Structure 1
Amino acid sequence: MGIVEFFVGPFSYPFMVRALLAVVVVGGTCAVVGTYVVLQGMAFFGDALAHSILPGVAVGYLVHRGDRGPILLWALGAAILASLGIGEVSRRSRLKEDTAIGIVFAGMFALGIALISTVRGYAVDLAHFLFGNVLSVSPADLGLTVGIGAVVILLVVLFYKEFLVVSFDPTFAATLRLRTGLFRHLLLLLIAVTVVISLQAVGVALVLAMLITPPATAYLLTRRLPWMMGLAAVLGILAGVIGLYVSFYLGIASGAAIVLVATAFFLLALALAPCRGLLSHRF
């Protein structure tokens, strides 16, 4: 096999072309939004949202009698409900946010398991939502993923300064009379939406890795937020593309391959980063 055939050959199949576009969108979007997740220490929130969409997946499957097309919309509704619920429980009960996250996460996850257990053959039919299968992305799924991803990136660009101030200096944001609650909820919604569009690529079980690992890798390599976002997006896209090749040629699960490549990038940065790497500290 020649080098050209190695790189071009897989994309003679239409499903591989769709998968490539999907991982580019998912890798870039997850990395950009995940930058805020990493810098604010919201990894638990991202993990909670990833598991809180299970009721939406189950209800969508039941309502549409196994038609997996509309399930993403139901999952999106569940993610939005969970993100708003976490914010409201934290605000109205005066509990710490991690406590509110734990309550909503546990309740939604249990509801999802209860609903899924009523579906005959759910272990086969819903497994790709749990573990991801980007190779099964349909043209309709791809269109929805690209559309939602574009909206998420556009909102991050439009409200970049507001998110920056609200995230890192809420007191200063209040003096500027910014609506901190509104932008906080908007950021939570963007994380929720990003989790949903990642379902097909990496699944519920691995979506947190795509939110966290590329931004964490970029954090080791740069100190400025715009550079961190850009570098994280590049790393997320590269992990998706390389993982797709690994999945195609080695015959392993696509979601797992993508996450393993992203993890390999992180380990390299952890060892070799100029200022924050293990070797730089040693020598």
Structure 2
Amino acid sequence: MTILDFLIDPLRLEFMVRATATTLIASVVCATLSCWLVLIGWSLMGDAVSHAVLPGVVLAYIVGAPFALGAIVFGFIAVALIGLVRDTSRTKEDAAIGVVFTTLFALGLVLVSVTPSQVDLNHIIFGNLLGVSRADLVQVAVLGAIVLVVLLYKRRDLTLYAFDPSYAHAIGLRPRLLGATLLGLLALTAVVALQAVGVVLVVALLITPGATAYLLTDRFGRMLIIAPALAACCALIGLYASYYLDTTSGPMVVLANGVAFALAYLGSPRHGLLTARRRRLNPEGHDHSHPAV
């Protein structure tokens, strides 16, 4: 088999074409948002929202509404409940997030177990990438485009909010509104990734690409390029690996992202573990220049 045959063979199948398009869109959108989530320290919030949408999806199925609508509604409910518990009790934010997202996720699991369905609702939990329909692909593309447009349009304000909310407020921006915007985009993005990898693995797409890019560069502008590019490459690698090794597609995509992070963790030119060890063994050759901002 030639390299060209290797690349083209999976794409002769229509379901693989849809799966590839869906995964690329979801990966790029998640990776772009993940840059801000990693910078602000909202990794756990990404985990919370991605799991909390499950009951919304099941309830949407029960009433015959679009899955995306139920997921978005419960994404916002989760964020509101976390804020309410945090602001009206002694509970700290991380504990509030843990309580809310585990409770809502458990509610979703209960609803899945008791809902008679001709559709295997477990695909919502674990993903069903190879079963993506044309309608699903259109939904992912539309929601993904909305998220990307808003992120790119507000990128300067969101970046300033991430670095220094107090200064953002001082120059006339509204940090609370910017935070709410990010949380809303997080809920939409969770719906986008839901089609690709399911509820359980959404958080990996929302965090790993940004964390990997964060190890590779000190410039946020470069992060916004590196993270989506890496995520797209990992999406293709994961899909092709799942096709030729006959394994589950969603987890293979996530595994590829995990391998990319491990490589960056070990070999990043500035922040890698092996690089730091070489500097300790050879302090004379250490570059004392400050990282770019």
The TM-score, its normalising length taken from structure 1, stands at 0.92
Aligned partners of 2:71 and 2:187 also within 8 Å: no
Moved more, 162-171 or 22-31: 162-171
After TM superposition, give the deviation of residue 150 of structure 1 in Å: 0.8
- In structure 1, give the amino acid aligned to 2:82: I
Secondary structure of the residue aligned to 2:140 is helix
CA distance in 1, matches of 2:55, 2:244: 34
- In structure 1, give the amino acid aligned to 2:80: L
Map 1:1-283; keep pairs closer than 5 Å: 1-64=1-64, 70-93=66-89, 95-120=91-116, 125-283=120-278
Aligned partners of 2:47 and 2:203 also within 8 Å: yes
Structure 2 unpaired stretches of 5+ = 279-293
Structure 1 unpaired stretches of 5+ = none
Secondary structure of the residue aligned to 1:135 is helix
Aligned partners of 1:47 and 1:208 also within 8 Å: yes
From the CA coordinates, give the structure whose radius of gyration is larger.
2
Judged with a 3 Å threshold, the aligned counterparts in structure 2 of structure 1 residues 105 and 238 are, in CA distance, closer, same or farther, namely same
CA distance in 1, matches of 2:129, 2:48: 22
After TM superposition, give the deviation of residue 213 of structure 1 in Å: 1.0
Residue number in structure 1 paired with 2:291:
none
Identity score, percent: 43
After TM superposition, give the deviation of residue 94 of structure 1 in Å: 7.2
Secondary structure of the residue aligned to 1:117 is helix
CA distance in 2, matches of 1:55, 1:28: 26
- In structure 1, give the amino acid aligned to 2:148: I
After TM superposition, give the deviation of residue 81 of structure 1 in Å: 2.3
After TM superposition, give the deviation of residue 120 of structure 1 in Å: 4.0
After TM superposition, give the deviation of residue 136 of structure 1 in Å: 1.0
Moved more, 109-118 or 171-180: 109-118
Moved more, 97-106 or 174-183: 97-106
After TM superposition, give the deviation of residue 266 of structure 1 in Å: 0.9
After TM superposition, give the deviation of residue 91 of structure 1 in Å: 4.1
CA distance in 2, matches of 1:232, 1:47: 18
CA distance in 2, matches of 1:186, 1:72: 18
The TM-score, its normalising length taken from structure 2, stands at 0.89
